[in-house]
Chain A
Amino acid sequence: MLAKRIIPCLDIKNGETVKGTNFVNLREAGDPVELGKRYSEQGADELVYLDITASHEGRKTFTEMVQRIAREINIPFTVGGGINELSDVDRLLNAGADKVSVNSAALRRPELIDEIASHFGSQVCVVAIDAKEDNGGWECYLNGGRIPTGINLFEWAKEANERGAGEILFTSMNHDGVKNGYANTALRQLSETLSIPVIASGGAGKKEHFRDTFFLGHSDAALAASVFHFGEIPIQELKKWLLEEGVNVRM
């Protein structure tokens, strides 16, 4: 049976791992390659590296880091952040990334998804969506949650699916950093309307939250950052517990 995936996410700024709460207040959390290696040994199923550097120089550092990850790590990894055009995708896949995650650029120009899918295949194209629930509706945001778009989460996710996305990585801005559980109602709705896997992101604080997003949110994978970086939930222990709770995970 296909296993539910546990995915640590590493936010990278100028070659260092950082993690914020509600997208602000960044704290440092160590060397990205070493951290990724440690997660892989502990049983992480995949890794996500997001480049949150804004400068040109930072982008170059990130690409070099991707090459180093590809050499040293033997599980799949996705990279994202600052991908605006096909040449960015080409550069990162060539550096050794297995998948790329696109966010704002795809919202601004949805054809980017079609282009990535037709050039490199749907399997490399993760569409990341940051959305916030307000007055009962879910709205997509641009630029790491700073700019509202007026675009509905479910409509955009469906369009991304139809254009050739291979996976949807949904971060609830209401839940991110709060450690009170994932946005399972919205996740379940996504999972039921899409034909591709859905990765839950934002809200993990304890082991129960992972179980709940698999059972209640029907998520295919759960992503988290700080609970892993600061050792609050060791991955091995989490997976062992999930298995006892009846979640099919890889041990």
Chain B
Amino acid sequence: MKVAIVKYNAGNIYSVANAFRRLGVEPVVTSDAEVLMKAERVVFPGQGEAHSTMAYLRAHKLDEVIRSLKQPVLGICIGMQLLCRHSEEYDTDCLGIFDADVVRFQPERHEDKVPQMGWNEIYDTQSPLFKGFDKEEFVYFIHSFYVPLCQDTIATTNYIQPYSSALHKDNFFATQFHPEKSGKVGERILSNFLSIDI
């Protein structure tokens, strides 16, 4: 299986590569349009801030490349947020794959720390991405911005309010959490992504 990971100015890219290696797949980390287009799976990972990462993607024409992909694509964390229409983080226009806008957590009680950092549950999972999931599972999150529930929601998490912890539309899948850091549950999600048939 040829897996390509989009290389750009976001953190945490090599953790994703390591996670695929643990599954026995050697991914290529690249910003080369041709390699990305030809891969059987593309992962768009990251940790970072919407505005500067979006500016980088545009400057390197990676925005057009990502939009044009036809194979299964997995966005992770900031990768998922950038696949949405718009982010409240520095008022950033994003890639517009998902019909949703990214907004900031507004704490209601003092215990609601922002960023949400740590393990939280995903529920109402409905996608081949979560094949074999029959109950809530804990996965690892670090984020200050979130996607509200929408028509593309395929997993829900509750933090301050229920929100989208994963999205799916056409060949695009995305998780707000980090499957590469979510222990055995995360490994199952990445392995499901490799065997998805669209």
Contact = CB atoms under 8 A, between A and B. Distances in A.
A74 B117 contact: no
Nearest to A221: B118
B183 A2 contact: no
Given A121-B11, A121-B49, A45 B22 contact: no
24 contacts: A1-B120, A2-B141, A5-B119, A40-B183, A70-B18, A72-B22, A74-B180, A74-B181, A75-B140, A75-B182, A75-B183, A76-B178, A76-B181, A96-B18, A98-B12, A98-B181, A121-B11, A122-B144, A124-B47, A166-B117, A195-B113, A196-B115, A250-B119, A251-B138
A122 B116 CA distance: 12
A121 B48 contact: yes
Contact of B118 (A93, A94, A122, A220): A220
Contacts of B115: 122-123, 166, 196
A45 B15 contact: no
Contacts of B117: 123, 166-167, 197, 220
Residue from A98, A195, A218 with most neighbouring chain B CB atoms (10 Å)? A98
Contacts of A197: 113, 117-118
Interface in A34-93: 40, 45-46, 70-72, 74-76, 93
Interface of A: 1-3, 5, 40, 45-46, 70-72, 74-76, 93-94, 96, 98, 120-124, 166-167, 191-192, 194-197, 218, 220-221, 250-251
A196 B117 CA distance: 9
Contacts of B114: 195-196
Given A1-B121, A96-B15, A74 B47 contact: no
Interface of B: 11-12, 14-15, 18-19, 21-22, 47-49, 107, 110-111, 113-121, 138, 140-144, 158-159, 178, 180-184, 186-187
Nearest to A40: B183
Given A3-B118, A96-B14, A197-B118, A74 B187 contact: yes
A93 B19 CA distance: 16
Given A45-B119, A197-B117, A70 B15 contact: yes
A195 B116 CA distance: 11
Contacts of A45: 118-119
Given A75-B182, A76-B140, A197-B118, 16 more contacts: A2-B116, A2-B141, A3-B118, A5-B118, A5-B119, A46-B118, A70-B15, A70-B18, A71-B18, A74-B181, A75-B140, A121-B47, A121-B49, A192-B110, A195-B107, A218-B111
B144 to A, nearest CB: 8
